[in-house]
Structure 1
């Protein structure tokens, strides 16, 4: 084998390992076996057409399947198979095609479908006003953008303007979007690999991880991870921003309230702006409007998106405080769809549904039910090393050995494809963490059915891989 071929092979292996951090990999033998099992001609044709016309990229093309419909909590593929969608790219808080959202969008389309920059419209004003109301506290200034990555960029620009400092501290393993500025502050190597020089002045610190953290505490506390932020701030100097998800979405890491209150204290002490990225988890997924509400803190800048558009329209928002309304001479966003009437109609309708259907309290009730079911499953199967979550966001970490905490990569893929065949779709993060994030509108019977499918997969894979049951 030539040196070039060897280097390419090594890079392929490394890339495969890195890409597991964000999701299940689309080039593994398990994925190839899944594709080989597809016998529907319409599906095969669509996948082949897709592969020919789209640029191939990790975790996307080549695709898993071909969809023809989406309604409520379900996706339907070209072969007629329906999947309960427990992934949804985090846009599906209300499921798909919610009638109230579609009605409001249709009404808006009939009157004002687009609002050029330099003009405002009542729908955008009402949407921004409603956002400030559900945020509460001092978060009362809004900018909209077409997507979450864009609002991260706006937040970083505003923070530079306000603080006069360009240095940023973020967390390893964090994800804040895939654009060059977002991957510069993100903590996942799979997005930075091969990209060359990125935005300077970024320091990263370890996240507060309870199960396999790099600084484990005998008593399970995590405040010392926050103390590390102050250490870096004092040693580095010139830090203007700390950016983080309140709860890490993909592999579901839930810090303590004490951790976040210590972070807020450090930021206040050192005049650092706290940016909370709640793009995947906002709009009720944790049982709160926004994740930071669970920790009794308030960020200086809040970034939201994904589910804001009701699973129909791409829209995101940056919300900040009136005292930071000082950038009138700076173009922070300047996006074509900055005050999209359609996007804002969808967002307003989404907030109305969450309130009218009391989804926040429902999700808090669902949290208790899901937690009990998953903890009971962990007690039965040694394949499950850890269960963690909040609201309707759960991570189940699979391990080959509980003491060593070795990641069960092959077993996690086997669980994924078992569940897909049984009609349940979800994401695998870090290669071994099953992430379950169903629509907030899911009813209890559907939730029970999904957990039954998942329990069946754990049982089957445990037996196939030779894991002895507990007890």
Structure 2
């Protein structure tokens, strides 16, 4: 198993003393169920042991075996429209009754409608679509398209990035806990330090200085490495919410155009409105050549992902890019259409922006009161708080962050820890001001309690 230090760089630590104490608060029946889980599922870091047993997920909440409800600001980033959304659920049920499966080499109206719905949400509406059963698979397809379109196999991606757990996606991903002990990965995968890495490296508070430093290095790689076909990154880092300035993306787009390099954005956990725009890159005034989507596409019901590629790169008819059993997934397409309609008809982007402004106000108040919050970053309802020992040095306080997590869980608020010390919230777009206010109240009480008892 990875060490605590290795895990704390990237996510929740499932084998810490704090986790043990939490497990001991559970009733005997729940602990028995968790033991049964370990007996049949393979162990893996950041997932094993599970922390509880749930029996329901609805709206913004999950419910455990004892009937306790948790406001869920984690949700594996699938619950943009809330769990068990009745509108999406009805659309999927109807699709199962009418046409549950579309064999390869055939199409159906629902598949065309879903692809068109995703394209219509882009600025240019100049994309074509492939569906895949997972985000990891979608990243693999994006890499294949870039190779076919450019004739080059090398790709620049970022340290600390996450693009899925397959061998191809961990080759371009930058989290050690996924590539540890895996041996040789895909050749031609070159890592650059991400925007947030440069931010920490050069200790500058000027976003444009950091952006230029970062992009100068990417240009250096392109010049000295050669044969680069693609640059792959998360436009907003999902796990700890790092947000480069618009100038970063404007220049990055220009570099890719000048060098004939395809720009790939992985928006799997962040798209569908969570950034305040339907697609994350729409915050920055550019479009990628390839856009990778997943998670919330299936409405929290169906595992569903997609790749959107600029129409001019649609010339891979002589190879099989995906060839998936569920190449045009009927139920997944019904979910996609229903999710998009629900977001539009219920003005969820507007709600996201309104709740984001409220979250920013509450966060600023907490930042002014508690020195253990070294920084907070918000884009729409992508929210992170850095927990530090000292605001000047910004030394990570991963132990404090973990204690805050378990206090919040005890009081009915669930979220994830990223990068060891970042408390990260991904509320669904349906979240209300009252629910957000309740989350902030619990969070502040956790900070007070954990500092007092430190």
1:42 corresponds to? 29
Pair 254,218 (structure 1): closer, same or farther in 2 beyond 3 Å:
closer
SS in 2 for 1:213: helix
Aligned alpha-carbon RMSD (Å): 1.2
Contact 1:211 1:386 in 2 (8 A): no
Aligned equivalents of 2:127 and 2:205: distance in 1?
41
1:93 corresponds to? 80
Offset of residue 81 of structure 1: 1.0
Aligned equivalents of 1:417 and 1:63: distance in 2?
14
Aligned equivalents of 2:175 and 2:410: distance in 1?
30
Contact 1:292 1:298 in 2 (8 A): yes
Offset of residue 212 of structure 1: 4.8
Offset of residue 15 of structure 1: 3.1
Pair 214,167 (structure 1): closer, same or farther in 2 beyond 3 Å:
same
Offset of residue 411 of structure 1: 0.3
Among 250, 267, 272, which residue is 1:278 paired with? 267
1:419-438 matched pairs, under 5 angstroms: 419-438=408-427
Among 31, 41, 61, which residue is 1:74 paired with? 61
1:7 corresponds to? none
Deviation readout 1:229-253 (Å, 9 max, x if unpaired): 1111011100000000000000111
Matched, 1:388 2:415: no
1:120 corresponds to? 107
2:428 corresponds to? 439
Offset of residue 213 of structure 1: 2.0
Aligned equivalents of 1:220 and 1:111: distance in 2?
52
2:90 corresponds to? 103
Offset of residue 217 of structure 1: 3.1
Q: Which moved more, 1:359-368 or 1:275-284?
A: 359-368
1:291 corresponds to? 280
Q: Which moved more, 1:277-286 or 1:333-342?
A: 333-342
Among 199, 202, 211, which residue is 1:215 paired with? 202
1:19-38 matched pairs, under 5 angstroms: 19-38=7-26
Deviation readout 1:181-213 (Å, 9 max, x if unpaired): 000000111111100000011111111128952
Aligned equivalents of 1:253 and 1:438: distance in 2?
17
Aligned equivalents of 1:176 and 1:62: distance in 2?
23
Pair 205,424 (structure 1): closer, same or farther in 2 beyond 3 Å:
same
SS in 1 for 2:181: coil
Offset of residue 22 of structure 1: 3.0
Matched, 1:456 2:449: no
Deviation readout 1:30-78 (Å, 9 max, x if unpaired): 111111221x233122111101110011011210100111111000011
Among 54, 59, 68, which residue is 2:41 paired with? 54
1:206 corresponds to? 193
Deviation readout 1:381-423 (Å, 9 max, x if unpaired): 0110000120001110000011111100110010000000000
Q: Structure 2 length as normaliser, TM-score?
A: 0.98
Among 306, 314, 326, which residue is 1:325 paired with? 314
Aligned equivalents of 1:265 and 1:216: distance in 2?
26
Offset of residue 218 of structure 1: 5.6
Offset of residue 16 of structure 1: 2.3
Deviation readout 1:315-341 (Å, 9 max, x if unpaired): 100001111000001111111111111
1:191 corresponds to? 178
Contact 1:162 1:324 in 2 (8 A): yes
Offset of residue 119 of structure 1: 1.0
Unmatched 5+ stretches in structure 2: none
Q: Which moved more, 1:223-232 or 1:337-346?
A: 223-232
Deviation readout 1:276-331 (Å, 9 max, x if unpaired): 00000000000101100000010000000100111111110000111100000111
In the alignment of these two chains, the number of paired residues is: 452
Aligned equivalents of 1:403 and 1:74: distance in 2?
37
1:15 corresponds to? 3
Among 200, 215, 218, which residue is 1:226 paired with? 215
Offset of residue 138 of structure 1: 4.9
Pair 413,218 (structure 1): closer, same or farther in 2 beyond 3 Å:
closer
2:147 corresponds to? 160
Unmatched 5+ stretches in structure 1: 1-11, 466-471
